[in-house]
Every structure is written in structure tokens, then in C-alpha cells.
Structure 1
Amino acid sequence: MTNKTIAITMGDPAGIGPEIILKALGKGELAGSRAVVIGCLATLRRIQALSITPPVELKAIKQVAEAVFAPGVVNVIDVPLADPAALKPGEVQPMAGDLAYRCIERACELAMANEVQAIATAPLNKEALHAAGHLYPGHTELLAKLTNSRDYAMVLYTDRLKVIHVTTHIALRKFLDTLNRQRVETVIGMADTFLRRVGYSAPRIAVAGVNPHAGEHGLFGDEEIKIVGPAIEEMKRQGIDAYGPCPPDTVYLQAYEGKYDMVVAMYHDQGHIPLKLLGFYDGVNITAGLPFIRTSADHGTAFDIAWTGQAKSESMEISIKLALELA
């Protein structure tokens, strides 16, 4: 698939991350792929002992150059838990949140040094992350901080629907108070750059409105008139094929059916709900604007089924494949 190498971070070890990583790498076309897992080796061994994942050799390595890429082998750079034996599956624990943070930190170091060319992340738990003293809303903001990235955005990616967000983990009231033309212009530009980077020669970008029916000429709100519309016009002047403001209740279906290549969503749920409805199991989360490619399974830690064998690995598999392809 590629001669580049990617890092896969474990995420919260008390969730389904360790299980879906081993399932993804243990069989099929990803077996033997150029991937190095960053996580707690003892936890991966505990998962193996449950016989809920394909049998593989867990090869402990200290640096990427030591990795052996062969079917049946999973290379692991050990980032140990403070007390691996005390980890409880399916529970919020500070040491699990700290482990998730340290895995991301180590993967970023490898990517910034070009030892790996992309990162695929398993889900972390925001409550556990905060309990460990790492006060970030999620992966996106953490990665931006670790890489000193100023302009970044969350992309949700499937074959038929792609969404980029103006804002994500922010209260709706604060979103309305802080929405501004410059940010909308920036995200439209990032959408165009991202799509060209992944192979679209002439991207068509739809920009969702803020209000019902995109405000209906000011009847239901004026953000489209004062902010979103002028931002679209400016980006058109810069040569970007942007459309809108589009009514949010129809634009995602139009993109899904092929009219647009990507939708710019104004806030978290406006973009997440349609994509998860149409592509829950094959959706991938990508952070645009970082100095390297980052993909992620587009779901949470699923504490209710952690370490039971019930977790589906499709989204993790797709995120790993996409990281390898885009690297």
C-alpha cells in the first residue's frame, strides 16, 4: 500500500482501543502493514489473554527502525501504564487518561521527526483525560497544541460524504457569540487544500448556513448575511469553488448524492449527526491543518462493551488504511 510508516496510538486503554487495534492488524490486508503501535504492552497482552482478538506476536521495540513488518507481527513501542495490573476495563481512570495523552505525545514526536509519516488514533475518553490533568477538549485540540498548529479543523471522511467543521467542542451559545468571517474563510480554504491533497483536482465545497433554511434572507437570523455569505464570496474571489450559504437540512444529502465534494459545517452536531447516520461504521476522523496526516476511528471508547470481544474494528481499519494511503 505504501513504503511509509504510520503510528497507531492506543487511546484510552480501558476502552475498546486495544481490542480494535489488534483486530485490525491481526488479519486481512492490514496484517504486516507498516504500522507501529504506541501503547501499553502489558495491556495489549491482557487483551490477548482474553482470546477475543486474532493471535499475533507482540514485538516490543524501542524505535521505529527496529520494527519488523510481517503478517502475524504487531510492533509495539511500549508506553506503560503507571500500574497496568490495576487498570479496570470500562471505567474512567486518571492513569488511563494520562496514558492516552502520553501515547499521542510520543506519536507526535515521531511524526515531527519524520520517523513516521502519519498517525492513526484509537479513541480516548475526555473525562479520563481531564481527570489526569490534561485539559483538552479532544484529540484535535491536543494535536494542534503539540504541533504548534494555529489553523486546524476536524474533518469527518467517508467515500460518499466529507465534512469539515468551523467549530467543534464548544457550547452552542459560545459558538454563536464567537462565529466570525475570518474563521469561516479559513476553513473553506482548508477544505479546498485538503481535498486537493487527497486527489480532488477541482473541489466543490458547500458551506452550510447557521440557521434554519440558512436564515431565509434574515427571517430566522442574520449570520448568513453578515458572516457566512461574505466569507463565501471572498473565497470565490480567491478561486475556490464554494457554494452557499446552503440550508443545513438538505446540503448533506446533496453532498452524499455527489453534488458537492465536501460540506463546511458550522458546529459539531450539524456535521456529526448526518455523517454518523450515513456512515457510522466506516467514518474516519481527520485533523486538517497539522504538519502530518492524522486519522482516527470515528467513534468513542465504548466503555459498555470494552474488553468483551463485541467491538467492531471497521472504522479503525479504515482509519489505518487511509493513514497509510495519505502518508
Structure 2
Amino acid sequence: MKVPVLALTMGDPAGVGPEIVVGTLAHWGLEAEACVVGDRRVLAEAERILGVSIPWKEARFPLEGNGPFLLDLANADPKTFSFGEISPVCGQASFEYVRKAVELALSGFVDALVTAPISKEALHRASVPYIGHTEMLEALTQAKEALTMFQVGDLRVFFFTRHLPLREAIARVKQETLVHFARLVFLYLRALGMENPRVAFAALNPHAGEGGLLGREEQEEIAPAVSFLRQEGYEISGPYPADSVFFFAFQGKFDAVISLYHDQGHIATKCLDFFRTVSVTLGLPFLRTSPDHGTAFDIAGKGVARFESMYEACRIAARYAPLYAPPLEDAT
């Protein structure tokens, strides 16, 4: 069976991206081929810092033989920036790595993207019109609605809201939007090969509202959404108190949990295993994974960045890429 080809973007050249990409390749043991999109000079410096040597092969498409392959965009001269410093040169370069990797995926030359961290501020300084990876990928692929799923072990967490003030996130907890989101969750879990996934809603308030004493969103919005979805045939339950539902999902009671706001799900996954939590973007024409951390400018270039999350992102991509079948229809 043909193994999947993963396009690894180098991330912001001034961050830890080059080091965690090189560290991952130095420990590669996955049933997949790696094709890095980056700058050879920056990667060579990362190899020097880590004391390893990667046997690169020049990427010519379609790829033949065994990698690791390198597509050198030669767009980040190390003389023009310093590790750990925000730079428009690095912001532009990091965007170009993603754009090229998307082109490769849409052309069928790679099966999935694994993206190293980028800097929102560096993108802004470079006048790149996107705040982050998800916005870039949606625009470059013309995807209508991309969802973020975190995975650590077999715990999967979807985020109903993400980068919103908490007050605004709470205001969005309405039955209609919860139903629409949950349908998408089921759609994309099935796209990963799960025929009959079991999904749970995390509650918003302490003790799931304690019968309305600690908040009424569970009674007035979340529970009615669950009831409506169950009538449609979905195996969904909740809302369950957020201090226990993630534990039970990790134990295997549920295949996925819907977190209602950013920190609710992030805390659960990162406390479980900060260095092996992976972000998965679903709803694109191809699978995309990434580490759950940022550029870590404070330790960039020092040879101390841990590569486990990048490695796990590659492992999850290799696992799901052969299964991922983007749905042609939208959830209604």
C-alpha cells in the first residue's frame, strides 16, 4: 500500500519551527514520507544547533523513492533576521511555505499538511492578510467552514468557539448554532472513518448548571439541542459537567467532546499531555495537523525546543490521511 506523503511547513524561520521539524525527521519512524517546504539555509542552522544531519533529497514532483524531501523556497536568508525576534521577512516566508504546501495538496502531490508554528504579529508586519493558519487555509482552498479538533491519545475535542472573548462565546451558545455545529462534528468524524461516533457536549456552567441554580444555558439551549439531534439519529449526549466529561472521553466512553469555548478544551487536553496534543483542521479538501504550541521565540535557536508535538502531528496525519474523505455536502 502506498504510504501517505506529508508536507511539513517549516513555520516562522525565527521561531522553533525549524528545530522541531529537524528533530522530528531525526526520529522519523512513521509509515509516511516527509516533504519539508522551507529554506535549506535555516534548516541547516537548525541541524547544526541540534547536532544532527538530515539526508535531504531535492523535491521533484511527483515524488519518487524515499525521503525526506526538501522543497527549498530560499526565501529566508538567515542574515536578514535573528532567532527569537519578530520579523516581516519571516512572516512573509512562513506564509509562502503554507501557500506552496496547499498548492501541492490541491494538485495531489501530497496527502496532508503538517504545519509548524507561525507568528500572527510577523504575518501582520509582512502585510499578510490572514491572522493565522486556519484563515489562510480557508482562503487558499475556498473552504466554507473549517473545524478545529484537538487530539491527545484517543481523546478528541472540538471547539464550538475559539478566539472570542468569553462573554461573546457564551452569547453564542444557542440551540440552533449548537445543532449546526454538532452536525458538522459528526460529518467530519465520519470523514475520518468513524461510522457511528459517540459525541458528548461539555456543559457551560459549573455542575452543568445545577438544575438552573448556576446558569440556565444547559436547560434552555444545550439540552434542547441534544434532544433535537438525538431525534435526528445522532448518538450524542450531555451536557456533562466540564470537570468530568473529558476524563470519561479519555477512558473511551465517548469518541469526541464538544467544548463550548477555547480554554475549556485547551486546558483539558494540554493538562493531559502538553507535549503530545495535536491540532487537526477538518473541512478542507485535505487533512491538516499541527503542534498545539506557538513559535516559542523565547527558546528559539537554543536547541531546547521539544519536538514531540510536531512528531505527534505527523503521526496523526499519517494515521488519518488515508482515511480522510472530505464530505461533498454541507451539514444543514
Regarding TM over 0.5, the answer is yes
Q: Aligned equivalents of 1:219 and 1:40: distance in 2?
A: 57
Assess if the C-alpha contact under 8 Å between 2:13 and 2:76 holds in 1.
no
Residue 249 of structure 1 aligns to a residue in which SS? coil
Q: Aligned equivalents of 2:285 and 2:51: distance in 1?
A: 33
Query: Offset at 1:286?
Result: 0.1
Q: Which runs of 5+ in 2 are unaligned?
A: 322-332
Superposed counterparts of 1:7-18, under 5 Å: 7-18=7-18
Superposed counterparts of 1:260-279, under 5 Å: 260-279=254-273
Cα 1:297–1:134 shift into 2, 3 Å: same
Cα 1:216–1:134 shift into 2, 3 Å: farther
TM-score normalised by L of structure 1 = 0.90
Cα 1:53–1:180 shift into 2, 3 Å: farther
Alignment match, 1:43 = 42
State the aligned residue count.
321
Alignment match, 1:64 = 61
Alignment match, 1:257 = 251
Q: Aligned equivalents of 1:95 and 1:67: distance in 2?
A: 32
The C-alpha deviation readout for 1:246-288, integer Å capped at 9, x for no partner, is 1112211121222211110011101000100002121111012
Superposed counterparts of 1:1-327, under 5 Å: 2-30=2-30, 33-50=32-49, 52-61=50-59, 63-66=60-63, 68-70=65-67, 74-81=68-75, 83-327=77-321
The C-alpha deviation readout for 1:69-119, integer Å capped at 9, x for no partner, is 14xxx3111223354321210111122122111111111111122221111
Cα 1:226–1:187 shift into 2, 3 Å: same
Query: Offset at 1:214?
Result: 2.2
Identify which range, 212-221 or 101-110, moves more after superposition.
212-221
Q: Aligned equivalents of 1:229 and 1:64: distance in 2?
A: 51
Cα 1:67–1:125 shift into 2, 3 Å: farther
Q: Aligned equivalents of 1:152 and 1:222: distance in 2?
A: 29
Q: Aligned equivalents of 1:293 and 1:7: distance in 2?
A: 11
Query: Offset at 1:40?
Result: 1.7
Cα 1:92–1:281 shift into 2, 3 Å: same
Percent identical among aligned pairs is 38
Q: AA paired with 1:237?
A: Q
Q: Aligned equivalents of 1:47 and 1:243: distance in 2?
A: 47
The C-alpha deviation readout for 1:154-189, integer Å capped at 9, x for no partner, is 100022321000111112122233343343223322
Cα 1:69–1:284 shift into 2, 3 Å: same
Q: Aligned equivalents of 1:2 and 1:158: distance in 2?
A: 26
Residue 303 of structure 1 aligns to a residue in which SS? coil
Q: Aligned equivalents of 1:185 and 1:145: distance in 2?
A: 25
Q: AA paired with 2:294?
A: G
The C-alpha deviation readout for 1:202-247, integer Å capped at 9, x for no partner, is 3111101222222223323332233322222222122111111111
Q: Aligned equivalents of 1:69 and 1:3: distance in 2?
A: 10
Q: Aligned equivalents of 1:225 and 1:181: distance in 2?
A: 10
Assess if the C-alpha contact under 8 Å between 1:144 and 1:152 holds in 2.
yes
